[in-house]
Amino acid sequence: MVGPQSKVVLVTGGSGGLGRAIAGSFVRAGFSVVVTSRSAESLGAAAQEISSDGDAALALSCDIAQKEQVEALRQKIRSERGIVQILVNNAGLAQAASFLNMDDKLWDETLKINLTGTYHCCKVFLPDMIAAGWGRIINIASTTAKVAYSHVTAYTASKHGVLGLTRTLALETARLGVTVNAICPGYLNTERTRENAHRMAEKTGRNAQDILDVFARSSPQKRLIEPEEVANLALLLASDSMSGMTGQAINVDGGAVMV
């Protein structure tokens, strides 16, 4: 692994289940971790949870859809921890709705957070990585970055965009000491998945647990993916041993999508 004590990791969407798992893995590995999200209250609770083993994670609220807030976040992190050399773009919005019933605001908000927010973070934090001659950008995409799923038009479109951004940045930074990769999880065992199951149940009259079972059965392993499985891969991608891997989109989905 690259020397943890000298590396600052920023995890966006750090208050959610997957964000907490990723940030916690980096904390336990000895990295200097910063977590951010829009909600200061939930973010503080998440930071306290992942810092329970001794090393403290720094919690800083930020709306990544607002570039000026991301720029202010960069300055705050520089003053308290140093430059960010590992960026995990995990923040995202995923709400289920059929295309014709989807409110235009949901489309706008999903693209603004999932794609434009990721763009803002890359644009703001990449220059410091290039200047240092070493950096890792890990974009949390989804299997919907590669294939389509019903009732998640905005989410699917945004994640396809994240994958395109990942590949283009990988090409432009290939000789600059920076790698850019995407992780594509399947259905995760998180509160977001359960919320969508309940939302679909309300609209269809089906039982939420039945819908969760359908999600699980979409994988050949017939299960949901644990957040820690994605976190383990993020930690690996941040290591020096993976310096030759860039521009890749790696599925963690129990074999659901084999492309």
Query: Is 155 assigned a catalytic role?
Result: yes
Q: What is the CA radius of gyration of the chain?
A: 18
**For residues 158 and 253, what is the distance between their CA atoms, to the nearest angstrom?**
19
Q: Which of 168, 173, 16, 40 is nearest to 88 (CA)?
A: 16
Catalytic residue, candidates 119, 149, 155, 187 = 155
The answer to whether 114 touches 95, Cβ cutoff 8 Å, is no
d(CA 69, CA 98): 32
Cβ atoms of 148 and 197 closer than 8 Å: no
CB 20 within 8 Å of CB 46? yes
Active-site amino acid positions: 155
